[in-house]
Amino acid sequence: MKQLRFYFDLLSPYAWLAFHRLPVALLGCSYEVRYEPVLFAGLLQHHGQLGPAEIAPKRAWTYRQILWQARRQGVPLRQPATHPFNPLPLLRLARACAPAGGTPNRWVCETLFHHVWDSGLDAEDPARLPALLERLSPRRDPASQAVKDELRDATAEAARRGVFGVPTIELEGRLFWGADSLEMLRACLQGDPWFDSPEWMGAADWPAGSQRRQSRIGGDPGSAPAP
């Protein structure tokens, strides 16, 4: 049985789409999943990236695309009252529902995803938290330093392993990023030899012809050609 790590942040609608579709996309495959809550903002900071919601045109496109994909896939999705929001309390709650050093089960993750993406309400409204706590009955205090440290350390470890966005699914050291990578993941699980070919293995060594110099918005765009 193959072991998968599903890295996610409840902030990400793509993580919700991938989480919802995963059992269907991998139907007939032999696998088990370890669900790893991580802080997307921490990954962005580590890699020096902006999030989709921090770029206005990309933000609008993201919302259009996820609503379209949810409609096509039959996934329940209603945008939270505000987005982005601070996911830390919910991520810590997910961690607190598992024993020390463990990860939350699928039911816990699904409950939290529904809280964010199937209500249309404010995901971080403190008035909604007591009902969520009662339903999930966390094993540990979500506000404890141990839980906070676990989330921080899990995010740092994910970045060390090459995770740069969510959702990302790891299979035997290979990383599959995005809700649209499930077909690739399925092929890899089924033993497609392409994943041991030079095309997969050599992609990281493909030479770069030019690199954009980092600059402030409105400043020198650098030497990279226009997209």
Q: Are strands 174-177 and 31-37 parallel, antiparallel or unpaired?
A: unpaired
Please give the pLDDT value at position 215.
45
CA contacts within 13 A on the Cβ side of 130: 1
pLDDT(188) > 90: yes
Percent share of the chain, pLDDT over 90: 89
- Please list the alpha-helical segments (H only) found in the chain: 13-25, 40-47, 56-73, 88-96, 106-117, 129-136, 145-160, 182-189, 198-201
Distance CA 116, CA 163 (A): 23
pLDDT(3) > 60: yes
* pLDDT (tens digit per residue) in 20-57: 999 999 999 999 999 999 999 999 999 999 999 999 99
The 3-state secondary structure of 85-151 reads CCCHHHHHHHHHCCCCCCCCCHHHHHHHHHHHHECCCCCCCHHHHHHHHHHHCCCCCCCCHHHHHHH
CA contacts within 13 A on the Cβ side of 111: 19
Structural domains in the chain plus CATH codes = 2-205 (3.40.30.10)
* pLDDT (tens digit per residue) in 134-163: 999 999 999 999 999 999 999 999 999 999
For residue 2, the SS3 value is strand
Prediction pTM value? 0.92
Q: Which two tokens stand for residue 109?
A: 């993750």
Q: Are 151 and 38 in contact (CB under 8 A)?
A: yes
Let me know if 28 is exposed, middle or buried by CB neighbors in 10 A (0-12, 13-18, 19+).
exposed
